[in-house]
């Protein structure tokens, strides 16, 4: 069965520091992979997605992610975080046509 694992429940980084959020997936075929951000009172917002092609994907808000098939990973990165990046981040894999299977989420806290 398809599954997504985000090993880190909570990460704290200092403002201006680099960030990497980990995501590992289990999927039998070529996966469709997504990163979403959830802020209180707002719906999940798509940061970026990978369907095929270049394994380094650029997203919104300065985020990028790299698909590594050999490691079954799709880690999210940002070179310099801002206080406004504090939120919950979810990695997801598309199951079937559009069904999304989400990871457990990683809560990001930013220290001033």
Interaction site with another protein (CB under 8 A): 36, 41-46, 90, 97-105
Q: Which residues pair with 110 in a beta bridge?
A: 13
CB of 32 to another protein, least distance (A): 10
Return the number of the residue (64 or 88) whose C-beta is nearest another protein.
Answer: 88
Q: Which residues of 51-68 are buried (b: 16+ CB within 10 A; e: fewer)?
A: eeeeeebebeeebbbbbe
Nearer to another protein, 28 or 41 (CB): 41
Taking the complex as a whole, how short is the minimal distance between the CB of residue 77 and another protein, in angstroms? 21
Place of tokens 């590594």: 68
CA distance 101 to 2: 7
In the bound complex, what is the minimum distance in angstroms from residue 7's beta carbon to another protein? 14
DSSP assignment letter at 32: P
Of 57 and 101, nearer to another protein (C-beta) is 101
């Amino acid at each position: 069965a398809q599954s997504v694992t985000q090993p880190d429940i909570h990460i704290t980084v200092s403002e201006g520091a680099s960030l990497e959020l980990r995501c590992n997936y289990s999927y039998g075929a070529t996966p469709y992979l997504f990163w979403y951000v959830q802020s209180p009172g707002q719906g999940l917002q798509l940061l970026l997605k990978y369907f095929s092609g270049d394994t380094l994907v650029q997203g919104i808000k300065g985020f990028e992610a790299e698909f590594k098939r050999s490691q079954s990973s799709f880690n999210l990165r940002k070179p310099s975080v801002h206080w406004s990046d504090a939120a919950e981040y979810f990695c997801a894999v598309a199951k079937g046509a559009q069904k999304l299977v989400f990871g457990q989420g990683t809560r990001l806290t930013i220290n001033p």
